């Protein structure tokens, strides 16, 4: 069977396709996707041979003509902000596979769906099962430990408590998250409400900033929160890709040092 030609217009889709071992199907990605680091030696070889996917613009403003010129068999999108864009591509006759997970369980289900999207449903099922097994190991490791209260900040100006799958991620890591319910969108928070919750940990993962945030900018706020501030690479929590499982393992180690091997 000929491998499909895939254009990924979402960083999470690009990362997931790469984790599926299907990076070589990517003929187009956005500027925001970055190089699929997990591809390792195969990616380095492709770079030398000039066979990397073509950049087709930003994830919210890709060039539709460039996408069409690549003659993709499938176009991958994600997030509600890309839903309308998907409709425009369908009008051009493109096969658009839109995945919009809102909870941790839906993120894992989307791994399996992405496998089917790129013609390898078996790889998708294996990735989903591996992710569930990793979460089961974390759950077993933290099961009998006290659950600290955790505040996760996705944006700092104004401060926004992270939603979607992050509440489930915190709970999976053995924490308690009273700020947003699983599946709800991230929302602006009053710092007084954060103080009232008295968090044991503050996790900062500002969207689009990687780990380039000085914790002093949060530690020095005019608030009465006496908790360590952890700056986390934002893709580990903000991206519904296999990186999220890495992020949950990272959180578990922060909340319960030594519990997760």
pLDDT tens digit sequence for 36-79 = 444 444 444 444 345 679 999 988 889 989 999 999 999 999 98
> Using 50, 70 and 90 to split pLDDT, how confident is the model at 92?
confident
How far apart CA 129 and CA 111 sit, in angstroms, is 9
pLDDT at site 209? 85
- 91, 24 contact by CB (below 8 A): no
Q: What is the reported pTM? A: 0.91
CATH classification of 150-255, choosing from 3.40.50.1980, 3.40.50.1820, 3.90.79.10, 3.30.390.50? Answer: 3.40.50.1980
The Cα 162–Cα 148 span in angstroms is: 17
pLDDT at residue 38, rounded to an integer: 43
What percent of the chain lies above the pLDDT cut of 70?
93
The larger pLDDT score, comparing residue 185 to residue 45, is at 185
Average pLDDT score, the chain: 90
Place of tokens 């013609």: 119
The mean pLDDT of 117-146, rounded to a whole number, is 97
What is the average pLDDT across 219-248? 95
The predicted model gives 16-38 an average pLDDT of 84
Higher pLDDT, 225 or 31: 225
In the structure, what pLDDT confidence band is assigned to residue 31 with cuts at 50, 70 and 90?
confident
pLDDT digits (tens, 9 = 90+) for 199-219: 999 999 999 888 888 999 898
What is the average pLDDT across 214-235? 93
| 152: DSSP letter | E
CATH of 6-100, one of 3.40.50.620, 1.10.3210.10, 1.20.1740.10, 3.40.50.1980: 3.40.50.1980
Largest Cα span, the chain? 61
Mean pLDDT of 214-241: 93
pLDDT for 23 beyond 80:
yes
Q: Where do you find CATH 3.40.50.1980 in the chain?
A: 6-100, 150-255
CA atoms 235, 164, 158, 175: torsion sign:
negative
């Amino acid at each position: 069977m000929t491998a499909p030609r895939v254009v990924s217009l979402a960083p999470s889709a690009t990362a997931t396709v790469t984790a599926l071992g299907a990076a070589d199907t990517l003929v187009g990605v956005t500027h925001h996707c970055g190089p699929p680091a997990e591809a390792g030696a195969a990616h380095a070889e492709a770079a030398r041979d000039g066979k990397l996917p073509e950049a087709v613009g930003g994830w919210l403003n890709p060039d539709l003509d460039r996408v069409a010129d690549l003659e993709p068999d499938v176009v991958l999108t994600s997030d509600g902000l890309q839903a309308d864009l998907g409709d425009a591509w369908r009008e051009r006759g493109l096969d658009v596979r839109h995945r919009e997970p809102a909870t941790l369980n839906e993120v894992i289900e989307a791994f399996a769906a992405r496998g089917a999207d790129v013609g390898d449903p078996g790889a998708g099922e294996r990735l989903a099962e591996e992710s569930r097994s990793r979460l089961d190991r974390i759950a077993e490791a933290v099961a009998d430990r006290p659950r600290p209260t955790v505040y996760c900040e996705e944006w700092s100006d104004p401060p926004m408590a992270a939603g979607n799958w992050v509440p489930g991620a915190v709970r999976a890591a053995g924490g308690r998250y009273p700020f947003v319910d699983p599946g709800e969108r991230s929302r602006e928070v009053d710092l007084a409400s954060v103080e009232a919750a008295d968090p044991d940990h503050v996790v900062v993962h500002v969207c689009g900033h990687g780990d380039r945030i000085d914790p002093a900018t949060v530690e020095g706020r005019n608030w009465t929160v006496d908790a360590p501030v952890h700056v986390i690479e934002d893709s580990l929590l903000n991206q519904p890709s296999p990186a999220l499982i890495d992020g949950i393992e990272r959180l578990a180690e922060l909340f319960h040092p030594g519990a997760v091997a």
